[in-house]
Amino acid sequence: MDDGEARARVDAALVEQAVRRGDTRIFEILVRRHQGPVRAQLRRLLCNDPAMADDLAQETFVLAWRKLQQFRGDSRFATWLHRIAHTCFLQYQRGRGGKTQAAAQSDSAEGEALDFGVGSGADPQELGLDLDVALRRLSANQRAALLYCVQLGMSHEEAAQVLDMPLGSVKTHVARGKARLRELLHDWAEDNDNRDFR
Amino acid sequence: MTQLSDEQLDDLLRRSFNAAVPDDGFSSQVMRALPARSHGPEWLLPVAVLLGVLLAWLALSPSPLWQQAAREWLSANLHASSMLVCALMLGSGLLSCVWAMEEAS
pLDDT on residue A130: 77
**Confidence band for A113, pLDDT divided at 50, 70 and 90:** very low
Of A117-121, A193-197, B29-33, B83-87, the poorest mean pLDDT is in A117-121
Asked if the structure places residue B30 within a domain, the reply is yes
pLDDT on residue A122: 42
> Residue A45 and residue A175: Cα distance in Å, rounded?
19
**Confidence band for A121, pLDDT divided at 50, 70 and 90:** very low
B34 or A121: whose pLDDT is higher?
Answer: B34
CB A166 within 8 A of CB B33: no
| A193 to chain B, closest Cα gap in Å | 7
Q: How many independent structural domains does chain B possess?
A: 1
The answer on A150 and A89 residing in a single domain is no
Q: Give the DSSP per-residue string, A92-133.
A: HHHHTTT--HHHHHHHHHHHS----TTTTTT-HHHHHHHHHH
Q: What separation, in Å, do the N-terminal and C-terminal C-alpha atoms of chain A show? A: 26
Asked if the structure places residue B14 within a domain, the reply is yes
At a CB cut-off of 8 Å and minimum separation 6, what does A154 contact? A79, A82, A148, A162
Determine the structural domain holding residue A119 and report its residue range. Answer: 111-191
Q: What average pLDDT does this structure show over A98-121?
A: 47
Determine the structural domain holding residue B19 and report its residue range. Answer: 6-104
Q: What average pLDDT does this structure show over A69-81?
A: 91
pLDDT on residue B62: 82
CA atoms in the 13 A half-sphere facing the CB of B54: 6
Which candidate in B11, B13, B39 is best for mutational testing of the A interface (most A CBs within 10 A)? B13
CB A192 within 8 A of CB B12: no
CB A54 within 8 A of CB B26: yes
A55 or A113: whose pLDDT is higher?
Answer: A55
What would the pLDDT profile of A125-134 be if each residue is shown by its tens digit? Answer: 555 667 888 8
pLDDT on residue A134: 87
pLDDT on residue A162: 94
> Residue A183 and residue B58: Cα distance in Å, rounded?
76
pLDDT reading at A120 higher than 50 = no
Q: What average pLDDT does this structure show over A13-40?
A: 92
At a CB cut-off of 8 Å and minimum separation 6, what does B62 contact? none
pLDDT on residue B28: 94
The answer on A183 and A138 residing in a single domain is yes
The answer on A25 and A54 residing in a single domain is yes
Chain A CB contacts of B7 under 8 Å are 197
Q: Of A2-16, A105-119, A124-138, which has the strongest mean pLDDT?
A: A2-16
Chain A CB contacts of B25 under 8 Å are none
Angstrom CA distances, A119 to A9, A122, A133, A189, B21, stand at 46, 6, 16, 12, 29
CB A182 within 8 A of CB B9: yes
Give the one of B13, B18, B34 whose C-beta lies nearest to A150's C-beta: B13
Asked if the structure places residue A105 within a domain, the reply is no
What would the pLDDT profile of B18-65 be if each residue is shown by its tens digit? Answer: 878 899 999 999 999 988 766 566 777 788 878 888 888 888 778 887
Asked if the structure places residue B16 within a domain, the reply is yes
pLDDT on residue A36: 94
Asked if the structure places residue A145 within a domain, the reply is yes
Cβ within 8 Å, pair A62-B37? no
CATH label of the domain that carries residue A55: 1.10.1740.10
Q: If interface means Cβ-Cβ distance under 8 Å, which residues of chain A face chain B?
A: 22, 24, 27-28, 31-32, 35-37, 39-40, 43-44, 54, 57-58, 61-62, 65-66, 69, 124, 127-128, 131-132, 146-147, 150-153, 178, 181-182, 185-186, 189-190, 193, 197-198
pTM metric for this prediction: 0.68
pLDDT reading at A54 higher than 90 = yes
CATH label of the domain that carries residue A131: 1.10.10.10
A122 or A172: whose pLDDT is higher?
Answer: A172
pLDDT on residue A118: 37
What would the pLDDT profile of A81-105 be if each residue is shown by its tens digit? Answer: 999 999 999 999 888 876 655 555 5
Q: How many independent structural domains does chain A possess?
A: 2
What would the pLDDT profile of A12-22 be if each residue is shown by its tens digit? Answer: 999 999 988 88
pLDDT reading at B94 higher than 60 = yes
